[in-house]
Every structure is written in structure tokens, then in C-alpha cells.
Structure 1
């Protein structure tokens, strides 16, 4: 609505410039704001006060000229002068209600896609399986889901991608710790952050552990069966933690 009012004001300015009321070359930034008091209308502009000096007129006199030059618009029921020269615009609630009723009666809510449908890939939270999920993952999931729903509504084909961080050099450290404490793995993996910190501490304190972690990285990347078994076990447990968050 603000854009519509700006356009109406610009048309009035063009008309007054053509009539010689306003000098040539003015290019004001037309400001339209919500009114604080709805009894004074829905939107207000200070354009008359901005241009009163170059026009050589009192703000209220210029405001009256602007009102007379404004084109008719079904969305605006009336325009009044307020205070030192504000233009107060009253929205036509009947016209607004009509637009809403038309949108509700339309299966597409009167929203139409510009251009042909596309195939769009949406990246979601993509959590790191070595650590617990956090609020950033919630944020990207909500944004991704909202964007995906809007694009599907517009007719696009949406592919939702959730690429989890289940690979990399840190997994050698985690697999070494999982290999070192197989009996306690289920209990310790209940707190992924603690599991990660404990594995990192062992990596920093023990050169033998660090060497074993590096060895496991190489073996994992080479497709070693035992490494893949530990890696799969870690991922299954870690993904189950993620799934609980997604379910909530």
C-alpha cells in the first residue's frame, strides 16, 4: 500500500511540475509512514513540507494543491491535511476487503508465479554428526521449510537436501575413542558434546591415541570394513539424537 501511495504522490508531483506549481528538476525521496493515531488515517507523508520552500509556498497550501492533483484510487477513501502540512491517507477498507475475499476465493490466493516452473534445491540444517544440534540448525530448518513450501505453492519442484557432516579428519579421533571404549559407547554418546570433548582431550594428551586416530582416518577413507562398521555405528547413534530434535 505504501508503494501505491508513493506512486500516487509522484503522479501529483509530475502534474504540479507540468503546471508550473513546482520547479523542474525536483527528485524528492517520497516518504510514507504508518500513522501513530488511526483516527488521523492509515498512512502519512511529509512531502508538502519537504517541497514547500522550493515551491515558494506554505506547506499547507502546497498540501492542498497536492490533494487536488492526486489521481483517484479505489484503495484510498480520502486524503486530509494535518498539522503543519502532513498528507494523511485513509485506506478504503471496503476495497481491501474485496481484494482479500477475491484472494480467499482463489486456490492460488491470487499469487501467480512469474516465469516457468523450476527445479530448486533447498539446503536445510545439515548438522555435524560429531556434535549436538543447536539453535542455528533450528533456524535454517525453519527457513528452508518455509522457502520450500512457498516455491511448491508457486509450482516449482523442490528438492530438500539435508547433507549431514559425517566425514572428515575429526572422525578418526572419534572412531579411535569409540574403538577404545566400546562398552561405554552407548552411555557416553548420550551426550555428543561430552563425547567429542573427551575424544579431543585424548587426542591432545596421547600421541599414541593421535597416531591411531590418523591411522583410522586413512583406513576409513580407504573403505576398511572395521572402520566403516564403527563409523556406521557412530552415525546411527548420532542421527538418532538429531531425529529426536526433528521430531520435536
Structure 2
């Protein structure tokens, strides 16, 4: 389904050709001055150089070529030769009608669908999720949904950290902390025999053990060496360590799945670093056979630096001097695993921007080894979620805020906001709680997704949970308002019309925004930038609010009422589709 930008570009390009000029100058964009025009073309300025004519003369010839076009109400020349285009009401109405009849609501699919992996989430097993995992989860989920909507075959992979040095740290720390846990680590016990000994080793205990162990490893060389050895022995298959690791893994996964579910985030692959362990030995031999490895201070490395690098990149550390696989090793093995099982055209890594060098090193090693085509691996980094002090968000005590606590805090605020606004008071308690949860998740997600992912932002719970302004709750409320209008219409027997008519300024604005959805989704896809869909959703909700105030719906005469109900209906469907692409679940009422 061609949008208005494409249709106008085709018409203006033909007018340039009729004037004896290249069609490429006919590119049309949305006007940066919507008070003056709906669309604009600046091609006359560029064409003037080659034609040896004044830009305004060329613009006049193009305008003449557009005379009588059913798409346009007027063509005006401004400044040195800008061509301003105002659409005919009938063309807008026809486009709105086609969007209403389109299951995709005006958004085209990608011309060449691909197989895509989106790697996001990435929490470490045996540690609770914290606010640092929020952006990866929210952005990655939205990118996955946008790519899938555009027609790609997409797999989302959580890629848990469950096989590295942190596991060795926890094994040693647990064995030191409790004789029962030490017995499990040192013995080859059956699951039945190990289970009673592992009581008390829950996520809360692991959360207490890990930071203490990490600090001890920095201060105590002997402890650090024991943890490194434990990591190597775990990866080597030591039975007791595997039993202890499996328990920590399972305890963690239950909590991780709870947090992801609360955020409306789901994965096709719940894999971790451990899932590629069986590939590592063969991969290391393959790297050696290809002449890519060398021994450096007892460790096996792959050099990835290239001539012309802006800064020196260290080599990929494949096997440590203690014999254990490193983070880069499991990342490389994961790339190989994905090639063998899915063979993606593109793999997107939604991970903190501060990990950029790590991924560049791993990607270059993969290209050298032939595990991925050059450019098929892309790190889509993001900034940090900061507190009012501009630093990464912390608790009042200065610690890292757990994600579960943030969700709880935001849901409490959502209840408070609903009560303040007098919303949902007459609803059953379970329905009110469901709405409060949806408002909380909308507040969290839209606060993040309204920003370009590469930037950092300040988290302000009071502002982001408001039902006014550029917030997720505002979008939910506007969708509920439209549903209320449509319900009242149904109750009174008023039906939406079969055709949409455009006459009022507020109707024009809505129709133009409905048409802009295709461009917003396409650009969000190309740039891996969900904020463009978020911006569209907000503008559409704002435009409906203006339309609702300026254009009576239920009290209008029947033909106008039918048109406006049809327009409200398509706005609701497109708004909810945009919310779905952002991972935000709408509410039926408030």
C-alpha cells in the first residue's frame, strides 16, 4: 500500500521529467512547516545547477506539470524555489479509507524478509535483575516486535550469563559459607541426595554472596585463583560443581522469568552461555586449524586489530591460562551455534553501549573464522537510565535498585495516579489491579522508548506516571477514551460509516498522521530505533485529543457522525498497533 509520500514523489518526479529534468529531483518529504504545507519538494534548487536556470523558474515548470492532479489542492512556490504541496481533502479521505481497510493499517512489509536474531535481556544467572537490565529488555523486545511486524522471521534470545567467572566465584563462596553446600560441591551426589543439602541456597542468599565474593576476589589473590580454578573445573565437567551450578541456575531462572513476564517481555530462546559449551572444544580446534590463534602468556588468543583502527583493540581471549573459556569465547561459540541452527542474515545485540569494544572484538573474530558474513552482526547499544543526579539510577542508600523493586514501586505509583484521577474506582479489585499493572508497565516502557536508544535519560517516576503529557499512561488513557466513544455509539445504535470524509482541520491532521505510520515503522526498522514509533503514537494520541475537542462525534448529524466514528475506529486500531510494537498492552477501560 503506497503512502502519500511515495504517491506524491511519483507525481512530482513525472513533473520534473516533463520539464526535461531528472526524476530523482522529485523527492517529496513531509513539510517541516505544516502551517504552510503538508508536503514539500526542494529538488528545484538541486536541479538548477545542472539546468542552468533559476530554481524558481524550474519550480514553476514543475508546478505547471502538477496542475490538475487529483492528489493536490494547491501547489505554491516559496523562497528561492521550494515547492509546497497541500493535499486535496478527497485524497486524504481516500487514503484514510484504504488504511482503515488494511489489516496492517497502512504499514508496508519489508521488501526482502530476512532471518534475524535479536539478542537482549542478558542477565547473569544467580543474581537478581536490576535496573541496568531494564533498557535491554524493553528496547530489545520492541526491536524484535518491529522486525517481526515488517515480515522478518525473528528469534529473540535472552542469552543468560551462566557459565563464566561469576559462577566460579559463587561456587567457591557457597562452599566456604556452608558445610552442606561444600559437601555438594565436593561429592558426586544424586539429585535426591543433594536436594536437602541445598536448602537455603536461594536467590536472596546468592544475591548476598555474590557482591561479597566479587569484592574478596579483588582484594585476595588466593581467593581469586580458587574461583578461576573452580570456573575451569565447572566447565571441565566436575560433577559436584555441576550439581551446585544447576541448582543456582534453576533458582535464578524462576525469578528471571517472573521479572520478564511482569514486563511483558518474552523470548523464543531461553539460552545461556552454558548451552554452547559443547561447541567450544571443536571451535578452538577450528580456530587453530585456520591459523587464527596464538599463545600469549599461557592464554590462547585471536588478534583482531586492523590497520586504520581509531583505537587499539585487544585480542579475543579464547582460553585463559587456567584453561577456562571466557566471555568472548562463549559469545563466539554462540555466533557459531546460531549459524548452525538458524543461519541468520542479521544478528542484533541489544546491550549497553559501554560494551561496544567487547562486541567489536567478538564480531571481528567471527568474521575471520567465517562464522558470520561481514556486517551481519550489529551491536545496537543504548545509554543509561539515570537518577536525578545524572548518574546511573540507584536506591536512596546508593545501591543498585533491583528490577522487581522498581516494578513494585511503579505499580504503587500507578495505583496512586488512578485514584487521583478518579479512574477505575467502580471496577472490581482484580480488574483495577490489572489496569494498575498495565499503567505501570506503560509508564516504564514509554519513558524509555520515547528516547533514541543511544542516549541516556533521567528517570522521573512522578512525571512518567502522569496521565498528562508525553507518557505511557497518557497513551493508554487516550485509547480508552476512544473505546468509550465507540461503546456509547454502539449503545445508542449509531454506526460507523463505510466512508471517511475529511473537511475540518482536526480531521486533516488525523488523516495525515495515519498516513505517517508507514514511514515511522519503516524508519524505526532501518535505524533500530523504537522511539520513532513511540513519537508517532504520541502525536496520533495528541491529534485525536484535538479532534475530539473540535469535532463533535455522537452529536453530529448522521453522515458526519458515521465518518467520524470510522475515523476514530481506525485511529484506535493504529494507536493500539503502535503500542503493541512498543510492547505496551492497552486497557479496555479505566
Structure 2 length as normaliser, TM-score?
Answer: 0.34
Quick one: which of 136, 139, 142 aligns to 2:138?
142
Paired residue total: 238
- Displacement of 1:127 in angstroms is 2.0
Residue-by-residue CA offset, 1:25-55 (whole Å, 9 max, x unaligned): 89769574514252x2112334445555765
Structure 1's 92 and 137: CA in aligned 2 closer, same or farther, altered over 3 A? farther
Bigger CA drift: 67-76 or 88-97?
A: 67-76
Q: Which runs of 5+ in 2 are unaligned?
A: 180-199, 264-590
Quick one: which of 41, 44, 47 aligns to 2:40?
44
Q: 1 CA distance for matches of 2:154 and 2:51?
A: 54
1:189 aligns with 2:206: yes
Residue-by-residue CA offset, 1:3-46 (whole Å, 9 max, x unaligned): 444443332222222xxxx6xx89769574514252x2112334
Ranked by relative contact order (alpha carbons within 8 Å, sequence separation 6 or more), the top structure is 2
Q: 1 CA distance for matches of 2:232 and 2:49?
A: 77
Partner of 1:69 in structure 2? 65
Q: 2 CA distance for matches of 1:214 and 1:160?
A: 31
Partner of 1:213 in structure 2? 227
1:176 aligns with 2:148: no
Partner of 2:465 in structure 1? none
Task: Give the alignment's Cα RMSD to 1 decimal.
Answer: 3.9
1:228 aligns with 2:242: yes
Structure 1's 220 and 72: CA in aligned 2 closer, same or farther, altered over 3 A? farther
Quick one: which of 10, 14, 17 aligns to 1:11?
14
Partner of 1:200 in structure 2? 214
- Displacement of 1:166 in angstroms is 0.5
Residue-by-residue CA offset, 1:100-119 (whole Å, 9 max, x unaligned): 33333333446665679876
> CA contact under 8 A between 1:8 and 1:71: conserved in structure 2?
no
> CA contact under 8 A between 2:170 and 2:206: conserved in structure 1?
no
Q: 2 CA distance for matches of 1:82 and 1:115?
A: 36
Runs of 4+ in 1 over 6 A off after TM superposition: 114-119
Q: 2 CA distance for matches of 1:106 and 1:32?
A: 23
> CA contact under 8 A between 2:17 and 2:23: conserved in structure 1?
no
Structure 1 length as normaliser, TM-score?
Answer: 0.71
Q: Which has the larger radius of gyration?
A: 1
Q: Which runs of 5+ in 1 are unaligned?
A: none
- Displacement of 1:180 in angstroms is 1.5
- Displacement of 1:177 in angstroms is 1.0
Q: 2 CA distance for matches of 1:88 and 1:236?
A: 62
